[in-house]
């Protein structure tokens, strides 16, 4: 199984303003199928609370800050995202919560799959039994 990891992105520092990027077949361990973003989150609000059967994601705090809590069914790790020149790779089958959004934060997420409601696991117990089955 792949492990979650922080991926540093290129940062082109410039007095006119910095620039960072990622592209297919570079930086990320999957090919990008879809992008979405989460914004206008009231300060302190939480999102997420699900896992994906097959989808992998990469999450960047383009603005502000928030925490991503990843749970593999055995242990939980919290990743604080607060810069636009790195992001968090989230493998499939991790329960993920996004917490502590700062006011005006902007989360950009790129995904390895098209949107498919069937790929979501929204029940934590179902997630745990799926993880245990995969480990057999
Ligand atoms: P969801 O992934 O459930 O967000 P969260 O877990 O943070 O609450 O998505 C919220 C709603 O948006 C859900 O009804 C599905 C819809 N949605 C799409 O239609 N396309 C997408 O790419 C995403 C990510 C969500």
| Closest among 107, 87, 86 to 98, alpha carbons compared | 107
Provide the pLDDT for residue 54.
97
For residue 94, the CA-to-ligand 1 centroid distance in Å is 17
Q: Is the CB of 47 under 6 A from ligand 1?
A: yes
Provide the pLDDT for residue 33.
98
Place of tokens 């098209």: 114
Provide the pLDDT for residue 43.
86
Domain ranges of the chain: 5-134
Q: How far apart are CA 116 and CA 4, in angstroms?
A: 22
State pTM to two decimals: 0.96
Average pLDDT score over residue span 52-70: 97
**Model confidence at 134, in pLDDT bands (50, 70, 90)?**
confident
124 touches 45 (CB < 8 A): no
Report residue 51 as tokens. Answer: 């896992």
Provide the pLDDT for residue 71.
98
**pLDDT surpassing 90 at residue 1:** no
CATH tag, 5-134: 2.60.120.10
């Amino acid at each position: 199984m792949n492990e979650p990891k922080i991926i540093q992105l290129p940062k082109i520092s410039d007095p006119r303003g910095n620039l960072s990027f990622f592209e297919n077949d570079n930086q990320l361990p999957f090919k990008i199928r879809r992008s979405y973003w989460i914004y206008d989150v009231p300060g302190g609000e939480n999102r997420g609370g699900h896992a994906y059967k097959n989808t992998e994601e990469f999450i960047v705090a383009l603005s502000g800050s928030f925490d991503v809590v990843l749970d593999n069914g055995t242990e939980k790790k919290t990743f604080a995202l607060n810069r636009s020149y790195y992001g968090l790779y989230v493998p499939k089958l991790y329960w993920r919560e996004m917490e502590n959004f700062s006011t005006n934060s902007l989360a950009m997420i790129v995904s390895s799959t098209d949107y498919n409601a069937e790929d979501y696991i929204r029940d934590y117990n179902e997630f745990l039994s799926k993880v245990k089955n995969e480990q057999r």
